[in-house]
């Protein structure tokens, strides 16, 4: 592939389960492409140099900073943003836990933090507080602080663990 | 800020990547994980005319355990190496040091070779490579490859022995030697920040190889005899690195950290768990 600097390139990716396309210049950051071209403004942009984590999205499942990625690099990838979380039944379990534990105020940092927490919870079923704090160290929250977030993540980890009943038991329950 | 405009090229082979590098000369930059370079582009500290993305080169994506080293291809992210099942046994120093590289989210995209190529004097991976006596493998557009020892590769702040048309294809970390112990300590303002001082040690029965990051213009590794009291040797080492004051710490504080952490590290220091706890700060 060779794209000229002034060329607008068609980029197609899977955003929250749906195929979407739009146009981007080589230098267009992924966060700007999502917001301005695809209209997915749930993802926020803070520092634009990788420090604050506000722009975090999942790229093929991995929490990544969308200000440190080009739109053209997302071609063909699976992207998940904060818009993927709430379903028809309302807020997701993690979003509800954030509300319950007062883990946000202005919410500017929250969209990115939720995406990191989702990947983390997929990978670490039974996390320690230290592990949660380590994962959150990749995000800056300037108005709420982290205690509520830590509690929300631990809370969700616990309820998700309890909900995953081993197969044999599940059968018995069904009977 | 937004990057200045550049052409974007995604070669599908190493040869093609090197050819493009050669063609564009100083106007081109390679991009791997982008976790260092994108910030530099966004702030317009660099304004290359061409960006050459190595993500499309398939055969760079491997971790291979060979006779005496672990080979990590240029497509491998830091997260993937950390998740490699035999890491703690194959190269224990990496298993200890890598959780200190940035954050979960930056390790998801940042590559192992990209960190070596970037050659930040405070970075953990260059320090590990220098302390273990590892090698960097480079390839040029004629398909010729050469291997460079870590001590010759790192030449100063963000400066390496890589030639303009060369791609780093692989880094090689020597496997753990039986009987040797591997230890790592770091002090940073917050976890995930670059190190103020990072120390890595290989401890054998009669000698200690101590690597220091964050102080000199590159990672430095020295051999110390394993005396009962290493204080004098550590003091001499601390003074020899040309420590300077900067926004994060004074030179005197850096020297003190080398003396104190060095002593702890050689003596066996606090456990990994205490270490992990300390870094939650
Ligand atoms: C918030 C934050 C915190 C961080 N903290 C740390 C930290 O504590 N410790 C640390 O070590 N790093 C840290 N980093 C940087 C680290 O994440 C990067 O991954 C690493 O420095 C570069 O790897 P990369 O793959 O992202 O390379 P890129 O950013 O893509 O490239 C970096 C440089 O290397 C060159 N390059 C890359 N690959 C090759 C190759 N195969 N051959 C030749 N040249 C190549 C590029 O041209 C460029 O000049 C941090 C980054 C962020 C955003
Ligand atoms: S906006 Fe991307 S990390 Fe701050
Ligand atoms: S909730 Fe306001 S910055 Fe985090």
Least distant ligand from the CA of B194: 1
Q: Within a domain: residue A141?
A: yes
Q: Within a domain: residue B35?
A: yes
Does residue B206 register a pLDDT over 60?
yes
Q: Within a domain: residue A168?
A: no
Q: Within a domain: residue A52?
A: yes
Residue of B150, B171, B149 whose CA lies nearest to B213: B150
For A111-166, the pLDDT digits (tens) are: 999 999 999 999 999 999 999 999 999 999 999 999 999 999 999 999 999 998 66
A97 and A136 together in one domain:
yes
B152 and B73 together in one domain:
yes
Domain boundary among A25, A49, A84: A84
Does residue B269 register a pLDDT over 90?
no
Ordered DSSP codes for A63-116: EEEGGGSBGGGGTT-EEE-GGGT-BTTBS-HHHHHHHHTT--SS-TTHHHHHHH
Ligand 1 centroid to residue A52 C-alpha, Å: 17
Q: Within a domain: residue A25?
A: yes
Does residue B279 register a pLDDT over 90?
no
A61 and A118 together in one domain:
no
For A5-15, the pLDDT digits (tens) are: 999 999 999 99
A113 and A155 together in one domain:
yes
Q: Within a domain: residue B138?
A: yes
pLDDT at A73: 98
Q: Within a domain: residue A66?
A: yes
Q: Within a domain: residue A169?
A: no
CA dihedral sign, ordered B222, B225, B231, B233: negative
Q: Which residues of B touch A116 (CB under 8 A)?
A: 104-105
Q: Within a domain: residue A132?
A: yes
For B111-137, the pLDDT digits (tens) are: 999 999 999 999 999 999 999 999 999
Give residue B277's pLDDT band: very low, low, confident or very high (50, 70, 90). very low
Q: Which residues of A touch B3 (CB under 8 A)?
A: 27, 29
Domain boundary among A28, A50, A84: A84
pLDDT at B273: 47
A130 close to B (CB below 8 A):
yes
Q: Which residues of B75-97 are buried (b: 16+ CB within 10 A; e: fewer)?
A: bbbbbbbbebeebeebbbbbbbb
What total of structural domains would you count in chain A?
Answer: 2
The pTM for the full model equals 0.94
B39 and B101 together in one domain:
no
CATH classification at residue B75: 3.30.465.10
B73 and B141 together in one domain:
yes
Q: What is the mean pLDDT of residues B56-84?
A: 97
* Phi/psi-derived region of residue B214, left when phi > 0, alpha when psi is between -120 and 50, beta in every other case: left
- For ligand 3, whether the C-beta of A30 sits within 6 Å is no
A133 close to B (CB below 8 A):
yes
A69 and A104 together in one domain:
no
Q: Which domain holds residue B206?
A: 183-267
Q: Within a domain: residue A170?
A: no
Domain boundary among B54, B74, B90: B54
B158 and B192 together in one domain:
no
B50 and B65 together in one domain:
no
The enclosing H or E element of B156 equals: strand B154-156
Percentage of residues of chain B with pLDDT beyond 70: 95
Query: Counting atoms of ligand 3 from 1, which one is nearest the CA of A105?
Result: 1
Domain boundary among A36, A54, A84: A84
Q: Within a domain: residue B276?
A: no
Least distant ligand from the CA of B42: 2
Q: Which domain holds residue A30?
A: 10-84
For A87-123, the pLDDT digits (tens) are: 999 999 999 999 999 999 999 999 999 999 999 999 9
CATH classification at residue A67: 3.10.20.30
A80 and A105 together in one domain:
no
Q: Within a domain: residue B275?
A: no
A120 close to B (CB below 8 A):
yes
pLDDT at B194: 87
Does residue A169 register a pLDDT over 70?
no
CA atoms within 13 A on the CB side of B219: 35
**Residue with more model confidence, A103 or B278:** A103
Q: Within a domain: residue B281?
A: no
CATH classification at residue A154: 1.10.150.120
pLDDT at B274: 53
Q: What is the mean pLDDT of residues B159-171?
A: 96
> Average pLDDT, whole number, for chain B?
93
A76 and A105 together in one domain:
no
Substitution target in B104, B110, B278 with the highest count of A β-carbons within 10 Å is: B104
B203 and B224 together in one domain:
yes
ipTM: 0.92
A35 and A76 together in one domain:
yes
Q: What is the mean pLDDT of residues B133-153?
A: 97
What backbone torsions phi and psi does residue A66 show, to the nearest 5 degrees?
A: -80, -5
B21 and B78 together in one domain:
no
Percentage of residues of chain A with pLDDT beyond 70: 94
pLDDT at B225: 84
Q: Within a domain: residue B2?
A: no
Q: Within a domain: residue B278?
A: no
Residue pairs between chains A and B whose CB atoms are closer than 8 Å: 109
A97 and A114 together in one domain:
yes
pLDDT at B236: 94
Cβ atoms of A153 and A117 within 8 Å: the answer is yes
CA atoms within 13 A on the CB side of B20: 24
**A148 is written with which tokens?**
């509520």
B71 and B141 together in one domain:
yes
A109 and A129 together in one domain:
yes
A108 and A69 together in one domain:
no
CATH classification at residue B201: 3.30.390.50
Q: Within a domain: residue B232?
A: yes
B75 and B158 together in one domain:
yes
What total of structural domains would you count in chain B?
Answer: 3
pLDDT at B25: 87
B39 and B75 together in one domain:
no
Does residue A172 register a pLDDT over 60?
no
Cβ atoms of B213 and B195 within 8 Å: the answer is yes
């Amino acid at each position: 592939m060779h794209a000229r600097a002034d060329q607008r390139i068609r980029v197609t990716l899977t955003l929250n389960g749906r195929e979407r396309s739009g146009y981007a210049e080589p230098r267009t950051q992924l966060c700007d492409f999502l917001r301005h071209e695809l209209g997915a403004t749930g993802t926020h942009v803070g520092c634009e140099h990788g420090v604050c984590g506000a722009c975090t999205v999942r790229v093929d499942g991995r929490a990544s900073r969308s200000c440190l990625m080009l739109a053209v690099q997302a071609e063909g990838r699976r992207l998940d943003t904060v818009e993927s979380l709430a379903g028809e039944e309302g807020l997701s379990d993690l979003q509800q836990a954030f509300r319950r534990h007062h883990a946000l105020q202005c919410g500017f940092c929250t969209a990115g933090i939720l995406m990191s927490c989702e990947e983390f919870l997929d990978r670490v079923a039974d996390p320690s507080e230290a592990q949660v704090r380590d994962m959150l160290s990749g995000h800056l929250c300037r108005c709420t602080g982290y205690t509520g977030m830590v509690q929300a993540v631990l809370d969700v980890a616990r309820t998700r663990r309890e909900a995953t009943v081993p197969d044999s038991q599940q059968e018995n329950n069904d009977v | 800020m937004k990057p200045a405009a550049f052409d974007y090229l995604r070669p599908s082979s190493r040869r093609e990547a090197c050819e493009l590098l050669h063609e564009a000369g100083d106007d081109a930059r390679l991009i791997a994980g982008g976790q260092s370079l994108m910030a530099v582009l966004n702030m317009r500290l660099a304004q290359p005319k061409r960006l050459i993305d190595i993500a499309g080169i398939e055969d760079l994506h491997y971790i291979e355990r060979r006779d005496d080293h672990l080979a990590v291809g240029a497509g491998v992210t830091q997260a993937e190496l950390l998740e490699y099942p035999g890491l703690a046994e194959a190269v224990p120093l990496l298993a200890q040091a890598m959780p200190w590289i940035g954050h979960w989210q930056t390790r998801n995209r940042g590559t192992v070779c990209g960190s070596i190529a970037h050659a930040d004097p405070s970075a953990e991976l260059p320090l590990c490579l220098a302390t273990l006596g590892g090698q960097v493998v480079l390839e040029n557009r004629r398909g010729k490859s050469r291997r460079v020892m870590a001590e010759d590769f790192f030449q100063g702040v963000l400066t390496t022995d890589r030639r303009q048309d060369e791609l780093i294809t692989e880094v090689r970390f020597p496997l753990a030697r039986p009987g040797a112990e591997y230890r790592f300590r770091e002090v940073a303002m917050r976890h995930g920040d670059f190190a103020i001082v990072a120390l890595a040690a290989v401890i054998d029965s009669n000698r200690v190889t101590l690597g220091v990051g964050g102080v000199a213009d590159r990672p430095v590794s020295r051999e110390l005899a394993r005396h009962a009291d290493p204080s004098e040797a550590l003091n001499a080492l601390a003074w020899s690195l040309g420590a300077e004051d900067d926004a994060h710490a004074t030179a005197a504080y850096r020297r003190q950290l080398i003396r104190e952490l060095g002593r702890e590290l050689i003596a066996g220091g606090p456990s990994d768990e205490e270490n992990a706890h300390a870094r939650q700060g």
